Structure 1
Amino acid sequence: MKTALIASEKRPQFDKNITNNLLLEAASEEAVRKETLVIGIRNESGKIYRIIGAPALKNYMNAVEELLDLGLVDELQDAEKSVDGYDSIFSL
């Protein structure tokens, strides 16, 4: 899966847990947004600071499971379609 940091946003302390638990390849924000499914992750200020792009549903589901295991909550879990280009948005 590909990931990009949003340059203007602060990385939270828990970010190292994400990068340790998921196999992520650094890419440009544009490349990540071209993936089939896109996950946004919010920092403590409520701003999306990292995006993760999954090429297939299996990869997406694996990432969602790992993020839930880290204690993050998917704000869009009950949404029937993507919101602002995100299929999931996770926060603490």
Structure 2
Amino acid sequence: MDIKTLIGSTMRADGGASGAKPRGTPDAGERPAAQSGAQPSESVTLTEAAQSMKAAQESAGAVPFDDAKVAEIKAAISEGRYPIDNERVADRMLSYERLLA
């Protein structure tokens, strides 16, 4: 089956169909409500969960970050001075594995 016959026109190099207008593009005589001076008649209300997620996202950007501490840890790792507790790492891996099971 030739996909070009399904679209009804040839494909452009960018993947779009030639002669087709992009979605959301007004026709020649149409103008969006914001341009014609009309007031929008639709509204959006966020759920409590969405508001909570938005607040968490905004506060995540304000997390303190200590560049000096990060540089110190990187240097310790590269020099082999950073202590690794193998049992703690294994316990954490197992606890994550139990969450997935």
Which TM-score tier does this pair reach, normalised by the shorter chain?
A: under 0.3
The structure with the larger Rg is 2
* Higher-strand-fraction structure: 1
Q: Determine which structure has greater relative contact order: mean sequence separation of CA pairs < 8 Å that are 6+ residues apart, divided by chain length.
A: 1
When normalised by structure 1's length, the TM-score is 0.21
When normalised by structure 2's length, the TM-score is 0.20
* Higher-helix-fraction structure: 2
